[in-house]
Every structure is written in C-alpha cells, then in structure tokens.
A and B are shown apart, each in its own frame.
Chain A
Amino acid sequence: MVPSRKKKFWSKLYITYVRWWISRNFKEVNVQTFEPRPGHSVLLLSNHFSWWDGFIANWTAVFNLKKQYYVMMQQDQFDQRSYLRYIGAYSIQKASRAMLESLTYSAGILDQPDNLIVIFPQGELYSNHETHIHVEKGVYKLMQQVKGPCQVVYHCILIDYFESLKPRAYVHLFDLGVANELTFDQLKENINAAHQQALKNQINMEH
C-alpha cells in the first residue's frame, strides 16, 4: 500500500482544473441542499455509472461539504498515475493482506473530522437507471474500523438534460448514519431507501 501525500497547493490547483473541465462538459453541477453533521468526517458513498463520477464527487466534497478529499485507488491504476498521491489518492490491493492495511489507513484518515473519503460501494460501473444499489462488503469493514465520529453520506448523481444542450449533473445527498453505529444490513437498507428517494426527487425536479 502506498499512502497519500496530500499537499494543499497541488490539491487546489487540481480542483481548479477539475472545475474548469466539468464546467466545459456540463451545464451545471446541481448539488441539492444538505447539512452535514458538525464535527464529523465524511465517508461519501457514490453511485458509479460513468467516467465522470469521481470528478463530480470531488466537486461536491470541496465546494459543498468543504472537506479534504481522499480517494482509494486500485494498485495497478495507482501505479500508472502515482502523481495523484499529492492530491489525496492512496492505493489498495484487492484480496490481499495489504488490503487490511489500506482499510486501517483509511480509518485513520476518517478519524480527523476535516477529512472525506469517496468510495464507490458498487465496485464496478452500473447503469444510471439502476434502481438497486449493490454494496460490497469492503465498505463495511472500513466503517467498523473508524474510531472518531464519521458520518456516512450517500452521494447520488443523476444526469438529466432538460432545456440545455449540455447535460446537468444533479447530486442528491443523504445522511445514512454514523459509521461505527451502522450494521451492514442497515447500511444496505438505508442506501437503497436513499436511492429510491433520489429517483423520486429527480422526477419532480424543477427546471
């Protein structure tokens, strides 16, 4: 496992670039109002349907939740882009002993109330129209290890166009509970209830 060496300067530069890049490809990133619990770090669970989700999650984390952004990357992808460690990436090896090390490291990050980790609990790409969110066990293993106060937030991105030519990304945020108080079944239940609510809200979205 390779830990992150997040630097404020590179992170700032990177997010400025991301903002410019997203603004060029999307009409807007419409983040629905959400009040995070004060004094809690955030574990952001996002749906995964495209190449863009990570960047949109990064946008929400920095501009709306105002947290320090960290992200877990698979070792092979990390090796190709190891410079990303300066903006908050660290590596994880799936199905190995080193994975436990990565999870402990993640839990350590979440002990600081200022930090945020983005995870795609589905583990692979699914359709944006998917109605059921599949949750992999790894997320729960991580949640169990967190000692400090950490809020689990579901970050649902839905793409819609309406009047504009460029797509709009609608981000629906839901509080799922506190990391070390949730059971795995509760997590799955809450995340799916939140997803259903997001789909409902999207249909009634004003435009």
Chain B
Amino acid sequence: MIRNQNNYFLNRIVHYYIKRIVRREFHELLFDNIPVDPNRSILLIANHFSFWDGLILYCINDTLLKKKLHVMILEETSRKEKFLKYVGAFSVKKDSKSIVQSLDYAAELLNDPANLVLMFPQGRLYANFVTNINFEKGVMRIIEKAEGNFQLLFASTFIQYFKHKKPTATVYLKNETGNYSGKDVTALQQAYQQHFEASKALQTEFDI
C-alpha cells in the first residue's frame, strides 16, 4: 500500500495544477450546495467513469466541503501518477491481503473530523451512461470500522457539452442520513442507485 504523503510544498504545486487543468478543460463546474458538519469527517461515495471525476471532486472539496481530502485509488494508478500521493491519494490493491490494510487506513482517517475520504466503490471505470451501479463490498468494512463518526455523502457526476465547445461537469451531492453499519452492501448500493437515477433524470431535463 502506498500512503499519501504530507509535503506542503509539493501539495501546493499539485493543488494549483489540478485547479488549473480542471478550469481549462471544463466550461463550468456545477454542484449542489449542501450543509457540512464541522464536527464530523466525510465519507464521499461517487461514480467512476473517468480520470476526471476525482479531480472534479477535489475542486468541489476545495470550494464547498473544505476538508482534507483523501482518495482511495488503484495501486497501478498510484505507481503511474506519482504526484497524486501529495494530494491525499492512497492506494489499494484489489484481490490481495493488503486490501484490508487500505480499508482500515481509510476508516482510521475518518476518525479525524478534518478529513474527507473519497471512494469509488464501483472499483473500476464504467461508462457515464451506466444504468445499474454495482458496488464492491470493501466500502462496508470502512463504514463498520469508522462506527458512524462520519457524514455520508453521495456524489454523482455527469459530463455534458450542452451548447458550448467545452464540456460542463455537473455534480449532484446528497447528504445520506441512513445508517448502513452492519447492513449488506446492497442496501448502500440501492440507496446510491436511487440518487444516481434521480440525478440522471435531472440531467436530461437540464434547460439547454
């Protein structure tokens, strides 16, 4: 497992780099305004369809949630994009023993109210047009270990062009109040699916 590293200098460089490429790539970044509890950490669950969704959520965290972001990424990505570890990326290796270590580390991070852990429980890239969301069960271990000391947020991201040359990224955030500790992953998956479908419906009704 490759842990995130604290290095103020490199963190700032990567931070401004991410902000810059997101600003350059997208026409606009739209998101809901939701209340954030300052006394609890955040577990942010999002759909995964591109390399951009992590970066988009990074920018949203910077402007809206204002927590210290940590994101679970695949070990291959972590090796390839070495700079990511300076902005809170820690790795997970699927189908190995170290997966437990990564999940426990994520749960540990959630004990500090200043932290945010971003996760893509789908485990790999899917099309943005996907209709059935499939979660892997690792996320439940985090939820159980962290013992409800966190605020659970759902995010579904869509990228569309509308009438502009550059695409617009829309992120629908939702404060999920249900307690999933001790439950099966399907309960969480269904709740997320509902949010995803509702967001997609909003996305099609968008006034272009």
Contact = CB atoms under 8 A, between A and B. Distances in A.
A160 B49 contact: yes
Tell which of B129, B161, B208 has the most Cβ of chain A within 10 Å: B129
A187 B127 CA distance: 28
B50 A162 contact: yes
Contacts of B126: 203
B49 A127 contact: no
Given A51-B161, A127-B206, A199 B51 contact: no
Contacts of A131: 204
Contacts of B64: none
Interface in B125-178: 125-131, 158-165, 167
B158 A129 contact: yes
A203 B50 contact: no
A128 B49 CA distance: 15
Contacts of A98: none
B52 interface: yes
B171 to A, nearest CB: 15
Contact of A159 (B51, B161, B205, B206): B161
A125 B208 contact: yes
A162 B161 contact: no
B51 A167 contact: no
A128 B51 contact: no
Contacts of B52: 161, 165
Contact of B160 (A124, A127, A162, A202): A127
A158 interface: yes
Chain B interface SS verdict (over half): loop
A186 B134 CA distance: 36
B163 A125 contact: yes
Interface in A162-176: 162-165, 167
Interface string A171-207: 0000000000000000000000000000100110101
Contacts of B125: 162-163, 207
A10 interface: no
Contacts, number: 81
Contact of B162 (A125, A162, A167): A125
B203 interface: yes
Given A129-B203, A129-B204, A160 B161 contact: no
A25 B165 CA distance: 9
Most chain A beta-carbon neighbours within 10 Å: one of B25, B161, B164, B165 = B161
A162 B49 contact: yes
B189 to A, nearest CB: 17
B100 to A, nearest CB: 27
Contacts of A162: 49-50, 125, 127
B204 A127 contact: yes
A116 B44 CA distance: 48
B154 to A, nearest CB: 18
A190 to B, nearest CB: 20
Contacts of A78: none
B66 interface: no
B161 A129 contact: no
Nearest to B125: A162
A51 B160 CA distance: 11
Given A49-B161, A50-B163, A159-B161, A203 B204 contact: no
Interface of B: 25, 49-52, 125-131, 158-165, 167, 200, 203-206, 208
Given A160-B129, A165-B25, 12 more contacts: A125-B208, A126-B204, A126-B208, A127-B160, A129-B158, A129-B160, A131-B204, A160-B127, A163-B50, A164-B50, A165-B52, A203-B127
9 contacts: A50-B160, A160-B50, A162-B50, A163-B125, A167-B159, A167-B167, A199-B129, A202-B127, A207-B125
Q: Please provide the 4 A-B residue pairs with the shortest distance between their CB atoms, ordered closest to farther.
A: A161-B50, A50-B161, A127-B204, A125-B208
